[in-house]
Amino acid sequence: MPQVEELISPQALAARVKELAAQIRRDYQGRSLLVVGVLKGAFVFTADLVRALDGLDVQVDFIAVSSYGAATETSGTVRILKDLDMPVEGRHVLLVEDILDTGLTLRYLLDYLSRQRPASLRVCVLLDKPSRRKVEVPVDYVGFAIPDRFIVGYGIDWAEQYRHLPYVGALREEEGADRE
């Protein structure tokens, strides 16, 4: 198993989630919000964020997409593996993603959700790798900007491993391949 170097501590994650939630509460005060988490990588972040949105009328749904298959480098082709269970039309939607990297997956999801005519559509990402961007996408809430490293932990995996780590880490350079 590759070794992991801690980049963002559990304490820093918890503090930033609270800060993001405070911003989101201010922005959606008095409105109902549908939080859409992108599986599998954003499930831990989505859960923590939703718990921190106390005082808001919040519903949660999930969508699963694939752009990697078994590879560690994105194919550029996005497929929906699990669609939403709730309607989006006329709702205020917050799309929650683990990593904004090339922007291809997020662009696909924004286009897909926009076609369903939400009242509003905003994006919250835990991690942003700006150096890898191929497509610019609007992001309203960003947890952390990170270097171009292969990230694991806090719900994010390498070969379905490491999701359970309570921190965000990077596979050691000599062992990890770039994925995002």
Active site residues: 101
**DSSP annotation of 153:** B
Among 141, 42, 36, residue whose Cα is nearest residue 87: 36
Residue type, 110: L
CA dist., res. 91 & res. 117, Å (int): 8
Looking up tokens 């491993």 gives: 161
Q: Whole-angstrom Cα distance, residue 55 to residue 71?
A: 41
